[in-house]
């Protein structure tokens, strides 16, 4: 994945998900904490530096907090200084969805869980090599799991 591919996907290039999980808002509300629901299901943003996950670099996988799909690996995690967990790449093609986001007077690319449509955060073209991408992700949308 590189920025050119990100833009293509955000403009509607095919991006098939490995599977689909669809639940009602009531079902998500019953399963998630109120903070998780606000961020993952209502595209909220947690306060920066609000999670210890930012400075956590132990090996492991980061799964979607809603549906459990493995999204990111600790090997691509880096310290961005932004106050949000940051990754250089997802674990596989198709697990992350890309959407043009023109809210708040900015042109950004929103990233979602491509399996359950959970809001994850945004991706920016200022990350480290080799991808040059920075996936800026809300910790509330992720669950750290053992590798």
d(CA 82, CA 61): 21
Q: Go through 90-113 and write b for each residue having 16 or more CB atoms within 10 A of its CB, e for each that does not.
A: bbeeebbbbbebeeeeeebbbbbb
CA 135, distance to chain mean position in Å, is 7
Q: Which of 64, 67, 116, 136 is catalytic?
A: 136
Residue whose C-alpha is closest to residue 84's, from 142, 32, 132: 142
> Could you count the other beta carbons within 10 Å of the beta carbon of residue 44?
15
The smaller minimum CB distance to Fe ion, of residues 38 and 132, is found at 38
Active site residue 113: no
Residues in the site for Fe ion, rule: CB under 5 A? 64, 66-67, 69, 113, 115-116, 118
CB of 96 to Fe ion, least distance (A): 10
The smaller minimum CB distance to Fe ion, of residues 89 and 118, is found at 118
CB of 57 to Fe ion, least distance (A): 23
The smaller minimum CB distance to Fe ion, of residues 36 and 69, is found at 69
CB of 116 to Fe ion, least distance (A): 3
List the catalytic residues.
Answer: 136
């Amino acid at each position: 994945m590189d920025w050119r591919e990100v833009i293509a996907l955000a403009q509607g290039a095919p991006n098939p998900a490995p599977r689909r999980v669809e639940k009602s808002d009531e079902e998500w509300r019953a399963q998630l904490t109120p903070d998780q629901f606000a961020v993952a299901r209502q595209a909220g943003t947690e306060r920066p530096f609000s999670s210890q996950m930012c400075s956590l670099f132990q090996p492991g996988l980061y799964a979607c907090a809603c549906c459990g799909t493995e999204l990111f690996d600790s090997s691509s995690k880096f310290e961005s200084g932004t106050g949000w967990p940051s990754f250089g790449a997802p674990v596989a093609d198709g697990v992350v969805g890309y959407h043009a986001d023109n809210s708040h007077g900015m042109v950004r690319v929103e990233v979602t869980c491509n399996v359950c449509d959970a809001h994850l955060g945004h991706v920016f073209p200022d990350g480290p090599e080799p991808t040059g991408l920075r996936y800026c992700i809300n910790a509330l949308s992720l669950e750290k799991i053992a590798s």
